[in-house]
Amino acid sequence: MQRKARFIAIFAVCLCLLAVVAWQVWDWLPPPLPPASTVAASTPKMRQYVRTPFIDDWDQAPLADMNAHAALNPGVAFLEGPTHRRLVALTFDDGPSPYTPALLDVLKKYHVHATFFWIGKHVQEYDDVARRALAEGHTLGNHTFTHPDISGTAADFWWDEQIGVTQDIFQRVIGKRPRLFRPPYGKIDDEEIKALNQHGLKTILWSVDTQDWNKNRWLFGRHHIERWIQQYIHEEAIILMHDGGGHRDQTVAAVDAVIPWLQQAGYQFVTVDQLLGIKDAYQ
């Protein structure tokens, strides 16, 4: 009886191991290309919303708040493009950083233009990288001066000390001021959105969060970032990634891997201003 019980236990363990191996093999197989939308490309979307799930206990804006900002501020705050064209906008936050040149090299290899929401103090430090990105056709946006949560703060903080001073830095470094703004952590209130619009700035959030701010720390981080995009991609998505704020080598590798897959799926890459039909990305 003991021998039989031991055999059953060993068999069960082997079966579990085989199941884990099979799951890993399945997870690493390239996923099928997403089908095209059954909705006509020019059809307006009924609403904008975040497709990726929320992770508890991280400094993120609640998804319901982000969805509400887009609904309450049409034409001023955005989560995604307005229709169903086979377009996608790659966006990168928190740079420029030592990882940005490698990312620019990858984008250049595929002739893809992206949108960068950068922190003012980093633009000062890596001014040559900022000028390179602009020269290579990427769109640059404002992401505050030091990356604080600005929601509910006074204007003499969120504008004078954060967004306005970063506009001035962009003016000195690239000779123009962005029209696109992304709040750190996605946290902002509707009064600030309206006030920023008076300053000539559109608020840009996202519909797909790759969560590379977390997955860069994982084993096989590149693979997980790539799969997250493939799982949640949709027409006219605005995809959130990061080129600063931590180790971003896995993000760079994921971008290198996922661009050809998206191109095979028929997606064209555009900057956020192109996606939203904003005629000039700068003031």
- What is residue 45's DSSP assignment? P
- The answer to whether the beta carbons of residues 190 and 211 sit under 8 Å apart is no
Helix (H, G, I), strand (E, B) or coil at 204: strand
Is 93 one of the annotated active-site residues of the chain?
yes
Catalytic entry in 113, 138, 224, 242: 242
CA neighbor of 114 nearest in space, from 279, 222, 266, 255: 255
Which region holds residue 152: left if phi is over 0, alpha if psi is between -120 and 50, else beta? left
> How far is the C-alpha of 122 from the C-alpha of 129, rounded, in Å?
10
> How far is the C-alpha of 216 from the C-alpha of 223, rounded, in Å?
10
Catalytic entry in 69, 93, 143, 209: 93
Is 59 one of the annotated active-site residues of the chain?
no
Residues 6+ apart with CB under 8 A from 281: 139, 140, 141, 178, 179, 180, 271, 272, 273
> How far is the C-alpha of 125 from the C-alpha of 102, rounded, in Å?
17
Catalytic residues: 93, 242
